[in-house]
Amino acid sequence: MKNILFVSSECVPFIKTGGLADVVGSLPKCFDKKEYDVRVFLPKYSCMKEQYKNALQYVCHFYMDFAGKSQYVGVLETEYDGVKFYFLDNEYYFTGDRPYTEHHWDIEKFMYFDRAVLSALPVIGFRPQVIHCHDWQTGLIPVYLHDSFAGGEFYQGIKSVMTIHNLKFQGNDGVPRFKWLSGLSDYYFSIDKLRTEQDGNMLKGGLVYADAITTVSQTYAYEIQTPFFGERLDGLMRARQHDLRGIVNGIDYNEFDPAKDMMINQKYDKKTVFKKKINNKRALQTELGLELDDNRFLVGIVSRLTDQKGFDLIAYMMENICQQNVQVVVLGTGDYKYEDMFRYFAGKYPNKVSANIYYSEEMAHKIYASCDAFLMPSLFEPCGLSQLMALRYGTVPIVRETGGLKDTVYPYNIFDNTGTGFSFANYNAHEMYNTLMYAKYIYEDKREDWNGIVFRGMEQDFSWQTSALKYKEMYDWLIGG
């Protein structure tokens, strides 16, 4: 039996702020239980839903020296969808109405988490051969495995993997505070180890000390070796390029299945999409107070409303877009300037724009199942999951060619009638607008071609099958080597 431990700061269905949670929630169940025992360690946040907190069972507790104090470490567990989840309990650190709050506090919280997870393993009696760490919050685990935890027999030979879901977030803090909290010696704070300029950097620690590094698409794996995408770690990424793999994310094909989806009005599959999907469009137009019109090009957006996702391009062209025969539905929260921008246009063009400034899984499913196209003009996108959901629901993605968007959406070619979506190369508002208008033209004037795009999109396979195999290969290689 091969023991693998995932460590993460979020995971569906327990706690989610972004795509990281979807990945950690869906990948562990994809491994054959006869060969792999995959378990997951998460913080027990007080802001988790009661139903999940109530399902947790006490396992053990102990005290650990951290930040000059002896601190409580509790471990609880539950099983979900056949996977065992451990929750680290400490009410001093994991209270509050959100998983992430103030920057310095988050650093201290996740340093505590990293040390506590490693300390808990012998107590719960689970010895992983590989610890798979996700994003900066878990970056000190590979470092500790080389440092304070290197001596003991239990930890010897444990391999670590660091997965980058987004290189922009690194978890850094001034060296003195970082050193004190982490308990790491001066040795670690040179520029070839944990230091970036004046700061200690948790993700960098993980990237220097992990036995293997992965990120969530092949293109992003190349991009982060360049200065623009590298977020000041491009040199390190180049130095470790032989230990770096790009493995594209999948989505849970049971949860996202238009033929079985309980949240949508009308179920359909690729055989019935052209007859039945229109019922969802009508239902959504009605629910959101948009003009009822079968042939109006309906564009969906489900996203965090932040700069990363390309909303400055949309803001710049929104007036022009609204002058056209289109409808736009947006769902999500984020930067106030984008929230207000969408509210403004929804007020000005109530028949055309629907601004849903909140998050709801149900509304997200309805949008995927109702729209004609899905817009995602990201500045950078390590993988992106929404375009995969859109493809699965026969909603044509319109994306910028970056990261995972480039790897998963094949641009329509009018001459040989191929492709699963539309894309543009440069981060330029008019280029985005022209691509959107080109898609609208194909939708309106070449409906057969359009339907071909929809159908090919639905035929793609972005379930976890292929990608989970690549993780398996990596685990096996680490364990064997």
Give the residues lining the site for ligand GLC (CB under 6 A).
Answer: 18-20, 23, 165-166, 216, 249, 381-385, 404
- Name residues whose C-beta falls within 8 Å of residue 448's C-beta, 6 or more positions apart in sequence: none
Q: Closer CB to ligand GLC, residue 74 or residue 404?
A: 404
With contact defined as beta carbons under 8 Å apart, do 224 and 230 qualify?
yes
Q: Closer CB to ligand GLC, residue 418 or residue 465?
A: 465
The label of the residue with tokens 């709801």 reads: 360
How far apart, in whole angstroms, are the C-alpha atoms of residue 309 and residue 251?
19
Q: Closer CB to ligand GLC, residue 128 or residue 404?
A: 404
Least spacing, CB of residue 225 vs ligand GLC, in Å: 17
Least spacing, CB of residue 168 vs ligand GLC, in Å: 8
Q: Closer CB to ligand GLC, residue 252 or residue 381?
A: 381
Least spacing, CB of residue 472 vs ligand GLC, in Å: 18
How far apart, in whole angstroms, are the C-alpha atoms of residue 141 and residue 152?
15
Q: Closer CB to ligand GLC, residue 23 or residue 346?
A: 23
Least spacing, CB of residue 21 vs ligand GLC, in Å: 8
Least spacing, CB of residue 474 vs ligand GLC, in Å: 16
Q: Closer CB to ligand GLC, residue 61 or residue 245?
A: 245
What value does the CA radius of gyration of the chain take, rounded to a whole number of Å?
Answer: 23
Q: Closer CB to ligand GLC, residue 168 or residue 260?
A: 168
Least spacing, CB of residue 134 vs ligand GLC, in Å: 8
- Name residues whose C-beta falls within 8 Å of residue 309's C-beta, 6 or more positions apart in sequence: 303, 376, 377, 378, 379, 381
According to DSSP, residue 240 is labeled T
Q: Tell me the β-bridge partners of 160.
A: 131
How far apart, in whole angstroms, are the C-alpha atoms of residue 329 and residue 284?
9
Least spacing, CB of residue 377 vs ligand GLC, in Å: 13
Closest residue to ligand GLC in the complex (CB): 19
Nearest to 111 by CA among 182, 183, 185: 182
Least spacing, CB of residue 165 vs ligand GLC, in Å: 3
Q: Closer CB to ligand GLC, residue 37 or residue 234?
A: 234
Nearest to 207 by CA among 176, 162, 262, 245: 162
> For residue 235, is it left (φ>0), alpha (ψ between -120 and 50) or beta?
alpha
Beta strands (DSSP E) in 303-426 are 326-331, 353-356, 373-376, 396-400, 422-424
Q: Closer CB to ligand GLC, residue 56 or residue 388?
A: 388
How far apart, in whole angstroms, are the C-alpha atoms of residue 219 and residue 217?
6
List helix spans (H) across 210-348: 218-223, 227-230, 234-239, 273-288, 311-323, 336-348
Least spacing, CB of residue 369 vs ligand GLC, in Å: 21
> For residue 114, is it left (φ>0), alpha (ψ between -120 and 50) or beta?
alpha
How far apart, in whole angstroms, are the C-alpha atoms of residue 201 and residue 174?
9
